[in-house]
Structure 1
């Protein structure tokens, strides 16, 4: 088997100025920030705490469910930004992997979180981050993304 994808454009670092403010506050396990520190339930909590710390705000929620509920209800600005950053990072990573493995048939998001944040995936930066793979953006626009519920 030989991968037909493109391996060079995988994102290594936080690309936006806001990411550079928030990422230093994400708890590092094993000495570095990896997908496991961001793209899971525990990761959403890490991102939430990092956003709060970057802005010297309170972070009263302690579970992914609480953060997600507050973000989707638009009742807590820190939770909203944390979920948006989570969705953006998920879009970046899913797009990178789709490009690496040339997932023309689509990308399938599974797991407990994806099905609970469908509104944020539809309304947020997920798709823009997924497609932001210059010079391959046109190819990325053709790749569908599905959430398994």
Structure 2
């Protein structure tokens, strides 16, 4: 996908989600809506979902794709890297990431975006996996960061 068309697609999805999330302030509903749109609008998205911090554990929440790991080992893998650094993490080859948690052997690249609540605290991450290597870039990062800002707005 060309970079300019990818950026425009993210912008269209953002506008669509922005209108849809007005229906409810419930974060899980907003997460589910974001998942559904992203998962079906980008053909390189293999698994699209959220992991939420619950009592110090990172547990799966709303997602699209094959069955997920229900709980991620503390301070291990890409999702915990996103939680611990509070920054988006892009991994071109998950098999080279120290401590990578392989919920599916079909995943080869990944992007994890922290989700912050209204107080600015990181409470979850958006996790997107691809079967292709090097699927995610700065355009995905910017588009996804903008989208997750709608969860607790």
Same fold (TM over 0.5): no
What is the TM-score normalised by the length of structure 1? Answer: 0.30
Higher helix residue share: 1
Larger Rg: 1
